[in-house]
Amino acid sequence: MTKKNHSLAIFLLLLPGVGYIALFLSAALGMTILQSFGFFSFSSKTEIGLQEWARVLNSETWDSFLYSTKIAFVSAFGGLVLAYPIALYLRRSFIGKNVLNMIMRVPLFVPALVAAFLILNILSFHGIFNEFFLAAGILKEPLRLTHDDWGIGVIAIQIWKNLPFLTLILSAALVNIPADFEHAASNLGANGLAVFRHIIFPLSIPGALTGVILVFIGVFGDYAINVIAGPLYPPSLAIRMYLFGKGFGEWGQAACLAIIIILGSIFFAWLYSKLANLVVGGA
């Protein structure tokens, strides 16, 4: 096979997959951007301008943005905090390791919507959690853990759903840290906590933050779990987008909210990569 034919063969092999992503991404993104500026509106005549943006950029959108950012941040970093001891422990060999691995992976096989309903049974006003602690006399009245302003139920479901993924990503990051680094630190006087703080944590952060970014973006743009367990107000950005698009027929504003979600995701991904550089200092 000549060099030219070889390059052509590679191009044709990649075209379906890469082409599919590129085409739909560019087409969908392009359409959304145009719609946010009044082009190709599904609900009204084309009216080019910033009027859709002017309608969307208000305090309610800001509340949704803050809410989505908050639950994404707490879910992602809360999940990371829980994932670290699990990932560290799973580096060892021990009896029952396979069983623990299997248990940790169960949430990966449960669809998000199903997970939301399952955990709702535990956290809802008359769920298992409240009924148990009421019966035990620890609570005098049930706690509002779902559909609350803080998004406690949403955060709990998101952490449950994403913990295995974070643990997997973190385990991969930890495996890449040579054991000699920990031995050297220990040999130089670092106890377990110091080894974690000065060696394991900084060296695992770039890998860990990759998982955090992916979880953050997923939670930031989440619709399903917020519908099941989220507050009425403020709704998440994705719910707000759906309401405007499908509910009110305001496709232009829905497009603006979609752009906000995309730009927000890009911004936070950039922020996290800067954070990783800061922690590791270019190692």
Partner 1 sequence: MATLKIANLVKRYGSAVVIDDLTLEVNDGEFLTLLGPSGCGKTTTLRAIAGLVEIDSGEIYFGSRPMKDVPPHKRSTAMVFQSYALFPHMNVRDNIAFGLQMRKVPKKQQHEQVHQVMALVGLEGLAERRPRELSGGQQQRVALARAVVTQPDILLFDEPLSNLDAKLRERLRIEIRELQRRLKITSIYVTHDQAEALVMSDRIAVMNHGRIEQYGDPFSIYRHPLNSFTAEFIGQANILKAKVLEVRAQESVLDTPIGQLISNTRINHGANEVMLAWRPEDMVLFEQNLRNQISGRVTRSIFMGNLTDLHVQVNDVTLRVQVPGISPWQPGSDIVLGLPEDRIQVLQ
Please give the residue ranges that form the binding site for partner 1 (CB under 8 A).
178, 180-181, 183-191, 194, 198-199, 202-203, 280-283
C-alpha to C-alpha distance for 12 and 7, rounded to whole angstroms: 9
CB-neighbour burial class of residue 220 (10 A; exposed 0-12, middle 13-18, buried 19+): buried
Is the Cβ of residue 55 or residue 198 nearer to partner 1 in the bound state? 198
CB atoms within 10 A of CB 3: 7
Is the Cβ of residue 58 or residue 93 nearer to partner 1 in the bound state? 93
Is the Cβ of residue 46 or residue 191 nearer to partner 1 in the bound state? 191
Is the Cβ of residue 15 or residue 194 nearer to partner 1 in the bound state? 194
SS3 176: coil
CB-neighbour burial class of residue 281 (10 A; exposed 0-12, middle 13-18, buried 19+): exposed
- Min dist CB 91 to partner 1, Å, is 16
- Min dist CB 245 to partner 1, Å, is 46
- Min dist CB 188 to partner 1, Å, is 4
- Min dist CB 179 to partner 1, Å, is 9
Question: For the residues of 210-256, what is the DSSP string, one character each?
Answer: HHHHHHHHHHHT--HHHHHHS-SSSPPHHHHHHIIIIIS--HHHHHH
Is the Cβ of residue 135 or residue 283 nearer to partner 1 in the bound state? 283
Helix-strand-coil split of the chain, %, nearest 5 = 75, 0, 25
SS3 150: coil
- Min dist CB 201 to partner 1, Å, is 10
